[in-house]
Amino acid sequence: MPILEARHLCKVYDTRSVKTVALDGVDLSIEDGEFAALAGPSGSGKTTLLNLFGALDTPTEGTVLLDGEDLASLSSSRLAELRLRKLGFVFQAYNLIPVLSARENVEFVMELQGVPGNARRQKALALLAEVGLGELADKRPLEMSGGQQQRVAVARAIASEPRVVLADEPTANLDSDTASHLLDLMERLNRDRHITFLFSTHDALVIGKARRTIRLRDGRVIKDERKAAS
């Protein structure tokens, strides 16, 4: 069973009597353990598709399944539970809480899960060490570089032990060297923890690292390529 599945997915935004078709009949399955990229220019629909997979938006037509569950059939509380337990998110703008330290940002999702204080502190410190930021645990986001903030975001994303991490343009604000190190980190987490990673991107570095590239244009999948196993 795919971990994520889209069936004839359509999304139309209707603003001020202007209709914009963001997705137009997308059929797509993401298997457990994949390291895949949704690629395409701005306006191709890749971020919309990522948001639908993450239960952050609802389709106009069609079906989204997460681990076999039809998201449209679920209550808002169940959707919140799925986002908390099965999904991790990495955003282009990092989305860290500025008044919290790196450790507290990583702890936040575990606090929502009800993990006791000492256990979540120890786990947050271990995760920050894993992403190479153990010495910056007490720093706040504005005291860190963009690459360091994005590593905190990755640690936060995996703190809940999700099945899937959805990463929207995670390298967009990073220089190429920092982006390459971040992608190496995500690849290692994918391999060692068997976390599925799905990116939306137009970055050639991300596309080069992905083992599968799904190319979109005008809301449709135009090409789906898998790299041969090395």
Q: What is the pLDDT of residues 66-83, one digit of tens each?
A: 999 999 999 999 999 999
What's the confidence (pLDDT) of residue 230? Answer: 62
What's the confidence (pLDDT) of residue 5? Answer: 97
Residue 174 has pLDDT above 90, yes or no: no
CA–CA distance, 185 with 78 (Å, rounded to integer) = 31
Q: What is the pTM of this model?
A: 0.92
Q: Which two tokens stand for residue 28?
A: 């797509």
Over residues 101-122, the mean pLDDT reads 94
CB atoms within 10 A of CB 56: 15
Residue 125 has pLDDT above 80, yes or no: yes
CA–CA distance, 167 with 157 (Å, rounded to integer) = 9
The full DSSP string for 29-83 is EE-TT-EEEEE-STTSSHHHHHHHHTTSS--SEEEEEETTEEGGGS-HHHHHHHH
Q: Long-range contact list for 81-86, CB < 8 A, 24+ apart? A: 82/55, 83/54, 83/55, 83/56, 84/109, 84/112, 84/113, 84/160, 85/113, 85/160, 85/162, 86/162, 86/163, 86/164
What's the confidence (pLDDT) of residue 93? Answer: 83
Q: What is the pLDDT of residues 177-205, one digit of tens each?
A: 989 999 999 999 999 999 999 999 999 99
Residue 63 has pLDDT above 80, yes or no: yes
Pairing of strands 4-15, 61-66: antiparallel
Map out the domains of the chain with their CATH numbers: 4-224 (3.40.50.300)
